């Protein structure tokens, strides 16, 4: 083999090694990006070899087309249908639980006159679970008024104290929460059952 042939063979080998080196660098860069890069499905950069749906649209668009006008953006509000809870609870027996003042507390703090019940207000609904039995308890709070203060033009009203719910703004009672916890953590039952 002559010197010129050896030089040509070495130059050929060098170009092959450069191509292989570039290919390996690209592979390492791609795998590093896959491993440590963004993992969201939303991406602004397409991976190698992947076509975009929007390339054709950008090429075929008419540059003289008028810009679309701005429209007033309407806020989205979830539609609340009235009566959904009532519809769910219609077949379950209801029990009325009236929270009232104790007999010794039914006196006006201002003048000491006995208070008279003037009405009650609906506060909340709870679902109580008794194994193999479910009932609904509607809580009402009684309101008392001092008639003497009312006649004197200084109305005095007092509402009876309410027991706190287990979960605020929700319907489960302590027995319902205890039953769910028992099923979940003792019997290992999933919450969706």
Hey, what are 143's tokens? 């309101």
Range of the domain at 99: 91-186
3-state DSSP helix/strand/coil % of the chain, to nearest 5? 35, 20, 45
In a domain, 176, yes or no: yes
Is residue 173 one of the residues assigned to a domain?
yes
Residue 99 pairs in a beta bridge with 141
β-partners of residue 121 are 141
- Exposure of 108 by Cβ count < 10 A (0-12 exposed, 13-18 middle, 19+ buried)? buried
Q: How far apart are CA 185 and CA 193, in angstroms?
A: 13
Determine, yes or no, domain membership for 4: no
β-partners of residue 97 are 139
Q: Is residue 67 part of a domain?
A: no
pLDDT in tens, 162-177: 989 998 988 999 988 9
Domain assignment present for 15: no
Q: Any idea which residue has 């009402």 for tokens?
A: 140
Considering the domain boundaries, does residue 60 fall inside one?
no
pLDDT tens digits, one per residue of 108-122: 988 989 999 999 999
In a domain? residue 101: yes
Tell me the pTM: 0.43
Number of domains in the chain: 1
């Amino acid at each position: 083999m002559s010197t010129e042939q050896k030089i040509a063979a070495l130059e050929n080998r060098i170009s092959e090694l450069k191509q292989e080196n570039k290919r390996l660098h690209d592979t390492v860069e791609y795998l590093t990006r896959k491993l440590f890069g963004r993992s969201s499905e939303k991406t602004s950069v397409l991976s190698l070899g992947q076509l975009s749906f929007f390339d054709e649209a950008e090429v075929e668009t008419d540059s003289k087309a008028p810009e679309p006008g701005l429209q007033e953006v309407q806020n989205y509000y979830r539609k609340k249908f009235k009566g959904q809870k009532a519809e769910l609870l219609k077949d379950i027996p209801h029990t009325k639980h009236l929270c009232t003042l104790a007999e010794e507390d039914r006196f006006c703090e201002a003048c000491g006159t006995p208070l008279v019940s003037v009405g009650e207000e609906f506060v909340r609904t709870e679902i109580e679970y008794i194994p193999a039995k479910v009932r609904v308890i509607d809580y009402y709070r009684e309101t008392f008024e001092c008639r003497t203060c009312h006649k004197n033009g200084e109305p005095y009203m007092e509402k009876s104290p309410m027991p706190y719910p287990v979960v605020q703004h929700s319907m489960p009672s302590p027995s319902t929460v205890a039953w769910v916890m028992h099923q979940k953590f003792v019997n290992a039952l999933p919450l969706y059952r």
